[in-house]
Amino acid sequence: MAQIFHHSTNTFARITIFGAVFILAFLGWAFDTLNRSAYSTRATQPREQPVPFSHAHHVGAIGIDCRYCHTTVETSGFANIPPTKTCMNCHSQIWLTSPTLEPVRASFRTGESIRWTRVNDLPDFVYFNHSIHVNKGVGCESCHGRVDQMPLTWQENSLQMEWCLNCHRNPEKYVRPREFITKMGYQPDGDQDTIGRQLVKEYGIQDARTLTSCSICHR
């Protein structure tokens, strides 16, 4: 029987066998990059909200502290989204006629909640708690970025496990004195490494082995 493939087609065979390694590696790389990209984690994408609430106005321009609205951030796992009453503390007197604030006034009149769109959302199988971080000197900025410059709120970091672990392994790179937790644009007063190590000791932050054990976050 005559040969189906000529001798010369061996080249193709070699190329495909050799190339497969690269193609597989490329697919792996592409998948990994896509998975970590802002496209799939939705980081840095501003979300549409029923009221275009701007942290840049309220925090950046007027200088209101985060805790004025996110009242429970120091005492509970949940940071709290302010109720309409909190907005009306000021907006019962200023920007009274602004049409952008109509949903807020309507909510105050009727008692219906404003339905904010969630921005940061961990999967439900992850346990997260604000109070422990805030009380051990991890500032809002370390996780949420420069909120005071956000006209509409976005998620700053990937919120993937890798990101949490990166800090849990080296908290000294991020911790700051407690009085600065809500400060935006914090600059350490000296060398972060020295200050960080000192604070880790002072606040009794546990070692990396404990903080990276699975049951800390998956409980």
Partner 1 sequence: MRTNFLFGAVVLVLASGVACRQDMHDQPKYIPLRPTDFFADGRSERQLIDGTVARGHLNDDAVYFDGKTADGKAVEQFPFPVTKDVILRGQTRYNVYCAPCHDRLGEGNGMVVRRGYRHPPSYHIGRLRQAADGYIFDVITNGFGAMPDYAAQIPVRDRWTIVAYVRALQLSHNASVNDVPADARGQLDHPTPVPGGEK
Residues 112-151 binding ligand HEC (CB under 6 A) are 116, 118-123, 126-130, 132-134, 136, 138, 140, 142-144, 147-148
Tokens for 150, please give them. 């956000």
Q: How far is the CB of 78 from partner 1 (least distance, A)?
A: 4
64 belongs to the binding site for ligand HEC (CB under 6 A): yes
Residue type, 84: T
Q: How far is the CB of 1 from ligand HEC (least distance, A)?
A: 53
205 belongs to the binding site for ligand HEC (CB under 6 A): yes
DSSP, res 139: -
The Cα–Cα gap between 38 and 193 comes to 29
Judged by the rule CB under 8 A, the positions of this chain that interact with partner 1 are: 61-65, 67-68, 71, 78, 80-81, 83, 85-86, 88-90, 92-94, 111-113, 115, 123-125, 179
201 binds, among ligand HEC, partner 1, none (CB under 5 to 8 A by kind): none
- One residue of 10, 33, 75, 89 binding ligand HEC per CB under 6 A: 89
Residue 12: Cβ-neighbour burial (10 angstroms; 0-12, 13-18, 19+): exposed
Q: How far is the CB of 157 from ligand HEC (least distance, A)?
A: 7
Residue whose CB is less far from ligand HEC, 123 or 190: 123
Q: How far is CA 113 from the centre of its chain?
A: 25
Number of chain positions touching ligand HEC (CB under 6 A):
76
208 belongs to the binding site for ligand HEC (CB under 6 A): no
The Cα–Cα gap between 141 and 143 comes to 5
- Give the three-class secondary structure for 211: helix
43 belongs to the binding site for ligand HEC (CB under 6 A): no
Residue whose CB is less far from ligand HEC, 17 or 196: 196
Contacts of residue 73, Cβ cutoff 8 Å, sequence gap at least 6: 66, 67, 79, 80, 130, 131, 134, 140
76 belongs to the binding site for ligand HEC (CB under 6 A): no
Concatenated DSSP letters of 57-102 = IIIIIT---HHHHSTTTTTSSS--PPPHHHHHHHHTTSSTT-GGGH
Q: How far is the CB of 58 from ligand HEC (least distance, A)?
A: 4
